[in-house]
Amino acid sequence: MAISRPKIPSELRRRVLIEAGHRCAIPTCKSTPVEIAHIIPWAKVRKHEFKNLIALCPTCHTRFDDPHGPIDRKAMRQYKANLNPLLSISLANRDGQANMLAAYQELRARLAEWLPIEVEYVAIKSRLSSSREKIEKIKSDAVDKLAWAIGAVADFQSAWGESEVSDLAGAIFYHVADWCDEVESAPFPLPEDLKQRDILEEISEASADLHLMVCEELSM
Ligand SMILES: [Zn+2]
């Protein structure tokens, strides 16, 4: 069956290559030369879009395309999100976009400071051997970082206005904040169900989506 598949435009191709530094996007591989792979197969989406393209070496490309292979689509989206697509975007002469990008980078930085402290808070509050002093100390660190995260979310939403991107950032933030409230109000030591939750895993897909949406919006 002949399916006519247009070539990937050279400008788009260049952005995908720059995003990965002209090396295989799997961080432990980084081989050259590279090919451009579709994360969701071309046959399904029938278009070439930046968010769906990634640079892979022929070996990783083959391993990814093999349905019984070790690399699934969720993992590949995570590899894509871990690249820095923002590097490949030129923001020159685009009103407001520098602000939007800065607000996003600030949000990422604040979440990256806050989340590990909360995770540690849970670990400490889960251990019977933890002293009250130790718990109070980590709790006050967590509150401090939460305040910064709240500020970053507010700034992000004001920079991005009413949009899907703002909504998603808010949803991720409140998902984590609700979990923090539960941890905060739960007795010591924390009950098993709270201990077992993996908050970073819970928000990983939404965070990857947010990242790719931000990249897409800024490159329009
Ligand atoms: Zn590779």
Residue 3 lies in a domain: no
110 and 210, same structural domain? yes
Question: What confidence score (pLDDT) does residue 141 get?
Answer: 95
Residue 206 lies in a domain: yes
Report the distance separating Cα 35 and Cα 140, nearest Å: 49
The residue to which tokens 């690249």 are assigned: 83
Give burial (CB, 10 Å; 0-12/13-18/19+) of 56: buried
Neighbours of 29 (CB within 10 A): 16
140 and 67, same structural domain? no
69 and 36, same structural domain? yes
48 alpha carbon to ligand 1 midpoint, in Å? Answer: 21
88 alpha carbon to ligand 1 midpoint, in Å? Answer: 20
51 alpha carbon to ligand 1 midpoint, in Å? Answer: 19
* Residue pLDDT, tens place only, 28-78: 999 999 999 999 999 999 999 988 999 999 999 999 999 888 899 989 988
* Residue pLDDT, tens place only, 76-94: 988 998 887 666 566 554 6
117 and 209, same structural domain? yes
Question: What confidence score (pLDDT) does residue 96 get?
Answer: 72
63 alpha carbon to ligand 1 midpoint, in Å? Answer: 9
Sign, Cα dihedral of 16, 213, 150, 119? negative
51 and 128, same structural domain? no
23 and 52, same structural domain? yes
40 alpha carbon to ligand 1 midpoint, in Å? Answer: 18
Residue 197 lies in a domain: yes
Neighbours of 160 (CB within 10 A): 22
* Span 147-153, average pLDDT: 95
14 alpha carbon to ligand 1 midpoint, in Å? Answer: 18
Q: Considering its fold, how many domains does the chain have in total?
A: 2
17 alpha carbon to ligand 1 midpoint, in Å? Answer: 13
108 and 80, same structural domain? no
170 and 110, same structural domain? yes
Report the distance separating Cα 64 and Cα 146, nearest Å: 38
Residue partners of 213: CB distance under 8 A and separation at least 6: 164, 165, 168
139 and 55, same structural domain? no
Last residue of a domain, one of 58, 88, 118: 88
Residue 4 lies in a domain: no
Last residue of a domain, one of 88, 108, 142: 88
Question: What confidence score (pLDDT) does residue 93 get?
Answer: 46
Containing H/E element for 56? strand 53-56
* Span 84-109, average pLDDT: 74
209 alpha carbon to ligand 1 midpoint, in Å? Answer: 23
Residue 63 lies in a domain: yes
The residue to which tokens 């169900």 are assigned: 193
* Span 181-200, average pLDDT: 93
* Span 161-172, average pLDDT: 96
Residue 128 lies in a domain: yes
103 and 82, same structural domain? no
Task: Look at residues 83, 84, 106 and name the one whose alpha carbon lies nearest to residue 159.
Answer: 106
Report the distance separating Cα 112 and Cα 114, nearest Å: 6
Residue 144 lies in a domain: yes
140 and 47, same structural domain? no
> In the predicted model, is pLDDT for residue 130 greater than 90?
yes
142 and 68, same structural domain? no
Provide the domain limits for residue 17: 10-88
Question: What confidence score (pLDDT) does residue 99 get?
Answer: 84
